[in-house]
Chains A and B, each alone.
Chain A
């Protein structure tokens, strides 16, 4: 049996009387293209926060490539290759695109704590950052501050920053959210071209995107997994239809 790239066992989170994650058992295989869907408030982003360490679980275990990371701090998980993007763009607004990505690369390479040599001396890091921008078609905006760019470009930069960290597991939280349809094509293209050795989990509302990108879909409702399976099975599942469309299932 292959060790899954990411696995949760009995992951549980309570806020007082409110359970936002209900004993979630989840597997993400290596190289997977997996989608997590569910109605608003189902707890999808909470799941991401629990997995990445931004939130501490009330119970349960999280394993990354077989190793228990349940009590590791967020930064340590990132160093092991567990990377996320944010649903609402979280970049460094007044810094340039190149700088945003370079900061991530420096952290990954472990040179970001250096006090004595100028950042400019680390040419390889800067060149790697620039190469990444080129791969994503962002090189023309390299020196422009992020807050001056169109929102769709910013979402792309989010992905660039996450790729700069050499992820083994990539959690994309609504990558196309808030992006006009004219720009979302680029983002979808980038996701499709992600290296096949990265395990990708996408949280999305846009069903077209989900069915286009995912090989496997998990449906989360009110903190619990409702059903899991390949796209065709999910599309046909009457429970899923009911949850999303409110259809009454004929008994």
Chain B
């Protein structure tokens, strides 16, 4: 390869590819094609954002966490508590959710990210369990086991009411997702984002090239927490309900599962894994929630054994 060709190819990696418009076209089309399912659609879009935030720490920085729901739930409760106590403005609610979740991410990251491996995994689990405990004990604000009641979310810009059909919810979540996704994409293709893949691939080597590894990890952890907080706030605002399950180990576990199905570290894994999972869950868990648990567990076992890399990974391998 002539010098300019290799350099060119490398320098163009961040350019937008026509394929990248597909998910958005699909999302907009769904608005018109499935008018009865927009409420579910809004949930899916918000959950895609949650999975995307998890992908940033997991797929790009290589931080395996069992406690990402802590940020999701914190964002949800923040927006929810605001709306239940007189401040129902949705967009500021989103920012508030992001800010509080980011703060939690920063503070917990200072402690948790000093280690790797099992100790790190353990600590993320402990942090999430502590947050869940706190929410449970503070039931006078959070509603405890019964969940947060009495949320009143105002119309967006005073005009677009959150209607029963989910039209506003869907558009609201879609726009939030686009904006957050653009930010995530930008981060991933920036020098900072590239250095994260270095940290994931060989942290020893990163130290040896003079990279401030701890600082980078903390930064992406905080950003990821903020995005997870936004996704939680979106769900809170569009369903007008928050419960302790938002903070549960199951929630942290299922977001990992959804990511794996689509493929980790590819930015688009979330767009594939989340809708598949949620649509399937919506179908099957109505029949029997117990069976759903069983089959999803089995799927996990099989995917890890045979389809490592998720659907996008399979796609890659077929292409070769």
Contacts and interface: CB of A to CB of B under 8 A. Distances in A.
Report A-B touching, CB under 8 Å: yes
Contacts of B6: 98, 130, 139, 142-143
B210 A165 contact: yes
Interface stretch (B7-15, B118-126, B172-180, B290-298): B7-15
Interface string A133-157: 0100001101100000000000000
B198 A95 contact: yes
Given A75-B212, A140-B1, A142-B6, A112 B11 contact: no
A102 interface: yes
B88 interface: no
A190 interface: no
A79 interface: yes
A92 B205 contact: yes
Contacts of A164: 209
A127 interface: yes
Contacts of B320: none
Contacts of B204: 86, 90
Interface stretch (A18-26, A39-47, A113-121): A113-121
A90 B205 contact: yes
Contacts of B210: 74-76, 78-79, 107-108, 165
Contacts of A90: 202, 204-205, 208
Contacts of A102: 10, 194
A142 B11 CA distance: 13
Given A90-B202, A99-B10, A116-B186, 13 more contacts: A83-B208, A92-B205, A93-B201, A95-B197, A96-B10, A106-B191, A107-B209, A113-B191, A119-B14, A127-B7, A130-B7, A140-B1, A143-B9
Q: Which 3 A-B pairs have the closest CB atoms?
A: A78-B210, A118-B14, A92-B201
B5 to A, nearest CB: 9
B197 A120 contact: no
Interface centre among A84, A106, A119 (most CB of B within 10 A): A119
A159 B16 CA distance: 34
Interface string A216-230: 000000000000000
B11 A75 contact: no
Given A90-B205, A118-B186, A106 B11 contact: no
Given A75-B212, A93-B201, A165-B209, A103 B194 contact: yes
Interface residues of A, number: 50
A61 interface: no
A116 B7 contact: no
A115 B186 CA distance: 7
A45 to B, nearest CB: 13
Interface in B147-198: 186-187, 189-195, 197-198
B251 interface: no
A114 B1 contact: no
Contact of A120 (B3, B187, B189): B189
A241 interface: no
A143 B6 CA distance: 7
A91 interface: yes
B207 interface: yes
A184 B190 CA distance: 36
A93 B202 contact: yes
A161 interface: yes
A142 B197 CA distance: 18
B202 A143 contact: no
B89 to A, nearest CB: 28
A107 B211 contact: yes
B190 A91 contact: no
Contacts of A95: 197-198, 201
